[in-house]
Amino acid sequence: MKKILLLPLIGLSTAIYAQMKYPETRKVEQIDVYHGVQVSDPYRWLEDDRSPETEKWVKAQNALTQKHLDQIPFRTSFLKRLQEVYNYPKYSAPTEKGGWNYFYKNDGLQNQYVLYRQKGETVEKVLDPNTLSKDGTTGLAQFVLNKAGSYAAYALTHGGSDWQTVYLMDMKNLQTMGDTLKWVKVSGLAWEGDGFYYSRYPQPEGSALAAVNENHQVWYHRLGTSQDQDILIYENKEEPRRFHYLYTSEDEDLAFLSISDRGKGLKGNALYYKRKGEKNFSPIIAEVGNSSYSVVYSEGDELIIQTNDQAPNDKLLSYNLQSKAWKEMVPERKEPMVSVSTAGRKLFVAYLKDVTTRVERLNLQGQLEEVVQLPGVGTAGGFQGKKTDEEVFYYFTSFTNPSTTYIYNLKTGKSTRYRKPEVKFDPEAFVTEQVFYVSKDGTKVPMFITYKKGTPKNGKNPTLLYGYGGFNVTLQPAFSAMLIPFLEEGGVYAQANIRGGGEYGESWHEQGTKLKKQNVYDDFIAAAEYLIQNKFCDNEHLALRGASNGGLLVGAVVNQRPDLAKVAIPEVGVMDMLRFHKFTIGWNWVADYGSADNPEEFKAIYAYSPMHNIREGVNYPATLITTADHDDRVVPAHSFKYAATLQEKAGKSSKNPLLIRVETQSGHGSSNTQKMLELTADIYGFIFYHTGVQPFTK
């Protein structure tokens, strides 16, 4: 049982917060007019990430935040325990090429995963990103072998940026070649013959962090040549805000070009193909619309395509390149089809049943051969191999089961455990339950709740409610060693599967988009109220956390219900909903959010935009905003302007601190293990401190 902090300490802390002096933030006269509505943007200058004034402001904010975090006595204890539980060997599921099994491994606390390959008893280190930068922030984003396994194209990222630089490796001697490709983004690496396709942007003008990314191009690079000799395969200058993504078939005979136009609010894609040696693409689906199409298997002229065309939960169709004939193979069902993979000329179709994975093995005619017997109820993935494979790897995980690799035998249908991680915790000490609660409009919403067995339901447990609610992203059960210290100290972790995600297919996603986005916030508020009503916590012991679109979620909810929780952790959030589409690839999010350029959508967006709905004279939760200086997906200006507005309008009325933590040499996610551990320790320490619970007591 954890002790509640004595009231004198809480009272003393409250007095300190009330007197907290925030750094002064200069205001400018900036008025924008949206469809007749005047909107002030006094902190517009914080959008300039290269400005000395912005740099000075960030340093002042970080100093204040660090001073506050330093007074939390058990923050270092959380960091120590996080380092202990995270310090175990972690492996990816292997993939086979050229007689070698390739896999990623982290010995425990390495900043980056290392790529290895194994043949029999021989194990070779292929690439160790930890040796590529002094601070361990250079990461390996992609590593793609050609059909023979003789060459590999690999992409590195630096400091957490989404920009990638691509290099080549000769797999005979594991030596990096001289080829270097820059300004790669939103790209695969698709081999064909003695080269590969990739997507890039022209070199941006001005800030590479915030500049709008336009004119996405597909190029072909031939081994041993310089980038200026690459062949331009496809671009569309008339539609500069489209994505052009190319992938090839297993035999490299076919190249498929997917074209999306989310900046116009369209959720689907067009699909084209060309054969090896051809220059021009032929249409399969000629126009971009709201239906998605993806080739999951090809054999000669026959394709198998996964689509949500007139099937919100997805279905499989066959398509013949010669006859242009379509045929339904696997119809839509009540459970959403979340992935389709292939191995040994079999299809492995994964469905979601109340947010947990079910996998079926089908033949190439779409007929069921077997329901794969998974190790338990949780999340499974993988099942990806070559047409000649007789075995395939997959992984299985749940909240209390570390990700474990299995081998599935296609002849016998049996699964054998291949590699299980050894984590320093007792899974039997914790329990996960799935509950269903009712949202404001009567919709039933699922939520997972994980806690230590014996935790009393007295309303006094530090409870962390996490959500996302957007872009068709599904939050499935998955193990994270980072949660163990929080749970060990009496914390409750709740993961709400709110609308906007893909938990129940495209209809669930659509109910949380554009003019219906308020459903997402209502679902999250209802999740919090469920936890309070069922005595997991009360308002003084609840923390709300979300990242990216989830940061927007937290920011919007605390504006609407500042009384709901004691702590708010909006991470790398989209906080200025009127200008998000003016930075990097933010225009891509219009398909989910809508745009301030549209009168009706502006009205809806403006009503919940976190930065624009902060109220004066309100007691906001203890807030720790997080962002990073290399986040070129959700640029840090979102969090900068939100923090400045929050401190200005609520700094005097809030009894709780309103702080921002800006990480350096990091991006939309932590750029290395140490930064991730430190951030998590700060968040846990902040939550326990402000919910008034003393951890690490006997």
Q: Label the pairing between strands 463-466 and 492-496.
A: parallel
Q: What's the predicted TM-score (pTM) here?
A: 0.94
Q: Given this model, what pLDDT does residue 19 score?
A: 57
| pLDDT confidence tier of residue 12, bands split at 50, 70 and 90 | very low
Judge whether 260 counts as a catalytic residue.
Answer: no
Q: How far is CA 141 from the centre of its chain?
A: 14
Distance between CA atoms of 25 and 102, rounded to whole angstroms?
51
For the stretch 643-682, pLDDT in tens is: 999 999 999 999 999 999 999 999 999 999 999 999 999 9
Distance set, CA 622 to CA 2, 529, 659 (Å): 21, 19, 8
Q: Given this model, what pLDDT does residue 4 score?
A: 39
Q: Given this model, what pLDDT does residue 205 score?
A: 84
Q: How many CB atoms lie within 10 A of CB 213?
A: 24
Q: Given this model, what pLDDT does residue 207 score?
A: 75
> Which tokens in the block code for residue 586?
């933010």
Distance set, CA 320 to CA 286, 329, 344 (Å): 15, 13, 21
* Sequence-separated (6 or more) residues with CB below 8 Å from residue 12: none
For the stretch 151-204, pLDDT in tens is: 999 999 999 999 999 999 999 999 999 999 999 999 999 999 999 999 999 998
Residue whose C-alpha is closest to residue 347's, from 330, 333, 366: 366
Distance between CA atoms of 695 and 688, rounded to whole angstroms?
7
252 Rama sector, left if φ>0, alpha if ψ -120 to 50, beta otherwise: left
Q: Given this model, what pLDDT does residue 27 score?
A: 97
For the chain, give the mean pLDDT. 95
Q: Given this model, what pLDDT does residue 1 score?
A: 39
Residues 13-41 have a mean pLDDT of 84
Q: Given this model, what pLDDT does residue 8 score?
A: 30
Residue 10: is its pLDDT beyond 50?
no
- Residues 450, 681: contact at Cβ < 8 Å? no
For the stretch 403-422, pLDDT in tens is: 999 999 999 999 999 999 98
Amino acid at 683: I
Q: Is the dihedral of CA 441, 445, 450, 456 positive or negative?
A: positive
Judge whether 668 counts as a catalytic residue.
Answer: yes
Residue 15: is its pLDDT beyond 60?
no
The proportion of the chain whose per-residue pLDDT surpasses 70, expressed as a percent, equals 97
* Sequence-separated (6 or more) residues with CB below 8 Å from residue 428: 453
* Sequence-separated (6 or more) residues with CB below 8 Å from residue 188: 142, 144, 197, 198, 199, 245, 246, 247
Q: How many CB atoms lie within 10 A of CB 162?
A: 19
Of residues 92, 341, 439, 548, which has the active-site annotation?
A: 548
Residue 485: is its pLDDT beyond 50?
yes
Q: Is the dihedral of CA 447, 450, 455, 461 positive or negative?
A: negative
Residues 380-402 have a mean pLDDT of 96
Q: Given this model, what pLDDT does residue 206 score?
A: 75
Residue 7: is its pLDDT beyond 80?
no
H or E segment to which residue 18 belongs: helix 7-18
> Which tokens in the block code for residue 395?
């992984």
Q: Is the dihedral of CA 351, 353, 355, 356 positive or negative?
A: negative
Distance between CA atoms of 530 and 28, rounded to whole angstroms?
43
HSE toward the beta carbon, residue 102, CA cutoff 13 A: 17
| pLDDT confidence tier of residue 698, bands split at 50, 70 and 90 | low
Amino acid at 570: P
Q: How many CB atoms lie within 10 A of CB 172?
A: 8
| pLDDT confidence tier of residue 697, bands split at 50, 70 and 90 | confident
> What is the DSSP code string of 512-544?
TSGGGTHHHHHHHHHHHHHHHHTTSB-GGGEEE
568 CB-contact burial (10 Å; exposed 0-12 / middle 13-18 / buried 19+) = buried
> Angle at CA 363, nearest 5°, toward 358 and 366?
75
For the stretch 192-243, pLDDT in tens is: 999 999 999 999 887 778 889 999 999 999 999 999 999 999 999 999 999 9
Distance between CA atoms of 691 and 490, rounded to whole angstroms?
12
**Least confident span in 19-28, 36-45, 361-370:** 19-28
For the stretch 279-323, pLDDT in tens is: 999 999 999 999 999 999 999 999 999 999 999 999 999 999 999
Outline where DSSP puts E strands in 130-268: 138-145, 151-158, 164-170, 175-184, 190-192, 195-200, 217-222, 231-234, 243-248, 254-260
**Least confident span in 197-206, 332-341, 465-474, 679-688:** 197-206
Of residues 668, 670, 671, 690, which has the active-site annotation?
A: 668
> Which tokens in the block code for residue 239?
């539609």
Phi then psi for residue 517, to 5 deg, are -60, -25
Q: Label the pairing between strands 3-4 and 282-285.
A: unpaired
> What is the DSSP code string of 466-492?
E----TT--------GGGHHHHHTT-E
- Residues 482, 680: contact at Cβ < 8 Å? yes
Phi then psi for residue 84, to 5 deg, are -70, -50
